[in-house]
Amino acid sequence: MAGKVIRGYWDCPHCGTKGIDGLVDICPGCGSGKDKNVRYYMKSTEAVSDQELEAAGISADESDGEHREWICAYCGALNNYRDQTCVHCGADKAEKEQDYGGDTSEIKYRKDKYGRVTMTGSQEKPKEQTYETTEEAEARDAGNGGRRGGSGSPIRWVLIAAIALLAVFFLWPHTNSEAITGFEWQRNVTVEELRTFSESGWTLPYGARQTGTRMEFYGYQQVLDHYETVYEQRTRQVLDHYDTSYTYTDNGNGTFSEHEVRTPVYVTETYTEPVQRPVYRNEPVYQRKYYYDVDRWVNLEDYPTSGNDHEPYWSNAYTLKENQRDSARSERYYTIYNGGERIQEDYETWSQRELGDGSYVTKNRLGITYGRREQ
């Protein structure tokens, strides 16, 4: 809500006199009047009396920010709201340039409960861009140990360069010619046997042969038994008091209006509340269980073969019975080069390799292969 009217002040831009009463239109130092560049400011929260406002030709009702002084379009002088003609050049108010403040009128002051007044918004001029001379730059660099911008010592850059050179040395690719010097192969046959297992479960699997069934204990289910009253601690926010602060707006006529702002302050309150909590009991559950026989293939024995030649074969050191099979087979093939590399390949590619076949291999000095192509 609106409060008292506060005295504003202004500085004379012509002679530099500061702290002139905002209700005074003429500078006591040089006799110049306010012009369009004048901005009012607060020095304290000193109130202006109705008599002082009346003597300045301003009513208390006009200190609402809506009755701002106006700027003459011809001489740029600042005139009171009630003046219908410029007091400096006589120009008509209807031809005014604009009201006091223009788009910069949203400058506000705030006073907290401790009486401290701060300004929100800005009346300051933007800082001018400054440039340093060559001598200043050299002096700054000298004070920084000769490092422009403090980017680091020469030793640091030497270390970085050395690490980069080592990385290039070890990772730089080079291409050599390699030839096939040998082959390896591995094969394995797993013999499986179909066996019958007697099992039980709550469902009957596909293909199983049921041998029996009966009702058995399956587990427990919770059933509501009753409610009991328990007391739980809870918290809530409760209004404790109001903090009072003040804001100030520029009325544009040499005064500021004070506005009281009341901010609620809450505290956390702990209280006890009765709560009805459900209590459950466990009841046994019975369900039909199935007993059955089911056939499954199981691994019986492995029959591996391997060699360092180019003639792989599958083991035949076993005889299959009526309930056995050898469908599970695995195989691996490797080509060995004179560079020591052992490469696994599919059978179709491996079977077409021959001893002495060459290829170009691109590696780095760490032995990492980047690529290989046939000669």
Would you give per-residue pLDDT tens digits along the chain (375 residues)? 457 999 999 999 999 999 999 999 999 999 998 888 899 999 999 899 989 988 888 887 888 888 888 989 888 888 888 888 998 888 998 888 788 875 444 445 455 555 555 555 444 333 333 333 444 445 544 554 444 344 457 898 989 988 888 887 777 786 677 899 999 999 999 999 999 999 999 999 999 999 999 999 999 999 999 999 999 999 999 999 999 999 999 999 999 999 999 999 999 999 999 999 999 999 999 999 999 999 999 999 999 999 999 999 999 999 999 999 998 899 999 999 987 789 999 999 999 999 988 776 676 677 677 666 676
Number of C-beta neighbours around residue 273 at 10 A: 10
CA distances from 145 to 103, 134, 141, 183 (A): 49, 17, 7, 65
- Cα–Cα distance measured from residue 301 to residue 236, given in angstroms and rounded to the nearest whole number: 72
Phi, psi for residue 231 in degrees, rounded to 5: -110, 125
Decide: helix, strand or coil at residue 34.
coil
- Cα–Cα distance measured from residue 227 to residue 212, given in angstroms and rounded to the nearest whole number: 43
- Cα–Cα distance measured from residue 104 to residue 118, given in angstroms and rounded to the nearest whole number: 17
Q: Which residues contact 274 (CB under 8 A, 6 or more apart)?
A: 229, 230, 231
Q: Which residues contact 101 (CB under 8 A, 6 or more apart)?
A: 39, 68, 107, 250, 252
Locate the DSSP E strands across the chain: 2-7, 9-10, 20-21, 70-71, 78-79, 98-99, 108-111, 117-120, 174-201, 209-250, 255-307, 324-337, 342-345, 358-363, 369-374
Per-position DSSP letters for 114-165, written without gaps between them: T--EEEES--SPPPPP----HHHHHHHHHHTTT-GGG---HHHHHHHHHHHH
pLDDT confidence of residue 123: 42
Number of C-beta neighbours around residue 268 at 10 A: 9
- Cα–Cα distance measured from residue 318 to residue 360, given in angstroms and rounded to the nearest whole number: 44
Candidates 248, 213, 335, 228; CA nearest to 4 is: 248
pLDDT confidence of residue 61: 81
Task: Answer for the pair 287, 30: CB distance below 8 angstroms, yes or no.
Answer: no
pTM greater than the 0.85 cutoff: no
Sole residue written with tokens 């599919």: 346
Burial of 298 per CB tally in 10 Å (0-12, 13-18, 19+): exposed
Task: Answer for the pair 248, 108: CB distance below 8 angstroms, yes or no.
Answer: yes
CA distances from 372 to 36, 332, 338, 345, 362 (A): 82, 20, 14, 13, 6
The DSSP bridge partners found for residue 228 are: 277
Element (H, E) at 52: helix 50-55
Per-position DSSP letters for 319-356, written without gaps between them: ---TTEEEEEEEEEEEEEETTS-EEEE-HHHHHT--TT
According to DSSP, residue 48 is labeled P
Task: Answer for the pair 291, 197: CB distance below 8 angstroms, yes or no.
Answer: no
